[in-house]
Amino acid sequence: MADNLMEELKMNWRRWVFILVMSISMGGLATGETAPQIPLRDFFRNPELSSLELSPDGKQVAFLAPVERRLNLFVQEVNGEKPRQVTDVRDRDIGGYFWKNANTLIYLKDDGGDENYHLYAVDIVSGQTRDLTPFPGIRAGIVDDLEDIEDEVLIDMNQRRLDVFDVYRLNVKTGEMTLVAENPGNYIGYLTDHAGKVRVALAKDAEQNRNILLYRDTEQQEFRPIITTGFKDQVSPYFFSADNRHLYATSNIGRDRKALVLIDPATGKEIQTMFAHPEVDVGGAGWSRLRKVLTSVGYTTDKSHRHFFDDKIRKIYATLEKQLPGYEVALTSIDKAEEQFVVRTYSDKSRGAYYLFNEKTGALKKWRDLSPWLNEQDMADMRPISFKSRDGLTIHGYLTLPKGKEARNLPVVVNPHGGPWVRDTWGFNSEVQLLANRGFAVLQMNYRGSTGYGRAFWEAGFKQWGRKMQDDITDGVEWLIKQGIADPKRVAIYGGSYGGYAVLAGLAFTPEVYACGIDYVGVSNIFTLMKTIPPYWKPLMAEFYEKVGHPEKDEELLRSVSPVFHADKIKAPLFIAQGARDPRVNKAESDQMVAALAARGVKVEYMVKDNEGHGFRNEENRFEFYEAMEKFLQGCLQ
């Protein structure tokens, strides 16, 4: 699967929280030295290590590293030389972790991709591991790691009812749990103050399709609504102000693009706009727990950028960018004293490396490269691009051309992102680099409905699955052909999840455009998708109906855009890959498509993995999938 840097950087499950227009013809780009063919498995091997985290006292680090192809936890002294393995999981990668105290790590792991994550504690001295949520069929997550409380964390869990998550205070030593917020049925998120008290809840009114922000002064009080909006108005609280009286949040109320604002929960009113960008949404605010100040907020145009509120963090980034030229840098972990920082570098041609930075001494120590076996000089440039849709919208995206080849009449793989309510970003992407290394140009685009470009652009995608959203993808292909870059007879489409749906829709609704397609855990039938999603998504269904369509009120629409009902129009070769335990896009989605084509005598290459869910995480399955994908593309594009 594509690398997702933002997911790795802080594994945000802890909080479950200048566009370059290519107006010149690409055909005239000079060619240089072509890259050697890199072994496929080098792109998809587990990294040397990932998720490096400092212990609270700054004396140790923990990280994930592969043991017999599964990511396990290791601990090492900051000034030591030899890491110690502290977990021994063999069935499934550890999904994320954090330090609870100097001797305890907490991690999450699911079973075969079912996304029913359990919470585990491991004693790094004895190696003893305990399942803290040993209840069948449940899913647990972290609300607050309670950094200042030695042995407690706040979790949410659907033990009482599978369709709702309550909040519990959990003692990681004894396993004792205390209910601190019972979900009445429509709460979808919670926020604590700086003392670790649950003071904010987010809810959905399914009947009216409204968002509700609720607040209470103490945990002994009932929540009361302070902001109620339609679902298109979005307020996302990040954290409280230092005095626990006000909320920092992003909001698009009264504006097209989300801004960072300060809200008074007593009135629900914005009292200050902290930062807004004229072109894109902002998000990802930073906070100093030691100094109790707002530090930064992020935004993404061509690349990720930051606006700083705090001189200390601004100076640290300036120092690091000067010492690590040519790379993007991000601070991903910090000790309690705010003296030592974990630094992650990356670029479009490198997964990057981890460094330890001592703010007090200014020392910068390289810890390790993530993928030292990949030479970034052999990788291809990912270039920001934009083009106009047929109805006049500006669609932004990225174009990666094979290194050293003239950008003319190239075979192309169009790669629409999943979601669909996310966006593609600039950075290292294993899939893209493999394809470029094999001589394919790769086009990624943020079609309408993608997030980050404001409310109007997001809303332009509502009820446009298979319609204008798909037109944006087709218009990207036409743009490449007009530029002279793409060979119109050698264009493939590949995507996962919603991107897999776009593959099926592309082959069914514009069969003349694509030579072949690869659908990876994609939707074929919107009706059955809605019936098989997890029970805890129920509060979100009214919003989903508004954005995609209602199975009864919009039956004709959904039938017209569900590829399974238009299988007779598919002529190009198709490869489908599916995880049998996928809780989001059920295996029946792929089964239906294969059966519909088989009924017409059309053979589909179909790969199913019984120990995978929504995408293949196990290394051996990734290898098999991408080897099959490479062979398939070579057969239809070369």
For the segment 579-588, what is each residue's pLDDT rounded down to a tens digit? 999 899 999 9
Which has more pLDDT, 326 or 602?
Answer: 326
The answer on pLDDT for 631 being more than 90 is: yes
Give the span between the Cα atoms of 246 and 226, in whole angstroms: 13
Mean pLDDT of 519-545: 93
Query: Are the beta carbons of 307 and 297 closer than 8 angstroms?
Result: yes
The answer on pLDDT for 31 being more than 90 is: no
Q: Which of 5, 20, 1 is nearest to 428 (CA)?
A: 5
126 catalytic residue (yes or no): no
The dihedral built from the CA positions of residue 383, 616, 140 and 252, taken in this order, carries a sign that is: positive
* Reported confidence tier of residue 562, pLDDT bands at 50, 70, 90: very high
- Contacts of 260 by beta carbon, 8 Å cutoff, 6+ apart: 248, 249, 250, 273, 274, 275, 276, 282, 285, 297
Q: Which of 333, 475, 582, 590 is catalytic?
A: 582
| Cβ atoms within 10 Å, residue 371 | 20
Q: Which of 50, 55, 389, 497 is catalytic?
A: 497
Phi, psi of 46 (to 5 degrees): -60, 145
CA 214 to chain centre: 27
Phi, psi of 28 (to 5 degrees): -95, 5
* Per-residue pLDDT tens over the stretch 85-101: 999 999 999 999 999 99
The answer on pLDDT for 351 being more than 50 is: yes
- Model pLDDT, residue 13: 31
Give the span between the Cα atoms of 396 and 570, in whole angstroms: 28
Q: Which of 118, 396, 417, 614 is catalytic?
A: 614
Give the span between the Cα atoms of 146 and 144, in whole angstroms: 5
Q: Which of 626, 627, 42, 68 is nearest to 373 (CA)?
A: 42
| Cβ atoms within 10 Å, residue 329 | 19
* Reported confidence tier of residue 207, pLDDT bands at 50, 70, 90: confident
* Reported confidence tier of residue 522, pLDDT bands at 50, 70, 90: very high
Mean pLDDT of 343-367: 96
Q: Indicate the SS3 state at residue 432.
A: helix
Q: Which of 203, 231, 282 is nearest to 462 (CA)?
A: 231
614 catalytic residue (yes or no): yes
The answer on pLDDT for 606 being more than 90 is: yes
Query: Are the beta carbons of 384 and 279 closer than 8 angstroms?
Result: no
Instruction: Record the pTM.
Output: 0.92
* Structural domains of the chain in order of their starting residue, each with its CATH number: 186-309 (2.120.10.30), 319-373 (no CATH), 380-637 (3.40.50.1820)
* Per-residue pLDDT tens over the stretch 430-450: 999 999 999 999 999 999 999
- Model pLDDT, residue 602: 83
CA 341 to chain centre: 23
- Residue with tokens 């966006």, as numbered in its chain: 423
Q: Which of 320, 277, 327 is nearest to 301 (CA)?
A: 277
* Per-residue pLDDT tens over the stretch 164-180: 999 999 999 999 999 99
* Per-residue pLDDT tens over the stretch 380-432: 999 999 999 999 999 999 999 999 999 999 999 999 999 999 999 999 999 99
Mean pLDDT of 599-627: 93
Give the span between the Cα atoms of 357 and 363, in whole angstroms: 6
582 catalytic residue (yes or no): yes
- Model pLDDT, residue 190: 97
* Per-residue pLDDT tens over the stretch 375-390: 999 999 999 999 999 9
- Model pLDDT, residue 81: 87
Mean pLDDT of 192-204: 97
- Contacts of 318 by beta carbon, 8 Å cutoff, 6+ apart: none
The answer on pLDDT for 148 being more than 80 is: yes
Which own/partner contact pairs does 141-144 have at CB distance under 8 Å and 24+ positions apart? 141/13, 141/16, 141/108, 141/117, 141/165, 142/13, 142/14, 142/15, 142/16, 142/98, 142/106, 142/108, 143/15, 143/16, 143/167, 143/190, 143/192, 143/198, 144/15, 144/192, 144/196
Query: Are the beta carbons of 483 and 25 closer than 8 angstroms?
Result: yes
The answer on pLDDT for 32 being more than 80 is: no
- Contacts of 225 by beta carbon, 8 Å cutoff, 6+ apart: 203, 212, 213, 214
- Model pLDDT, residue 17: 31
- Model pLDDT, residue 34: 87
- Contacts of 66 by beta carbon, 8 Å cutoff, 6+ apart: 45, 46, 72, 619
* Reported confidence tier of residue 272, pLDDT bands at 50, 70, 90: very high
Q: Indicate the SS3 state at residue 5.
A: helix
The answer on pLDDT for 8 being more than 50 is: no
Which has more pLDDT, 121 or 539?
Answer: 121
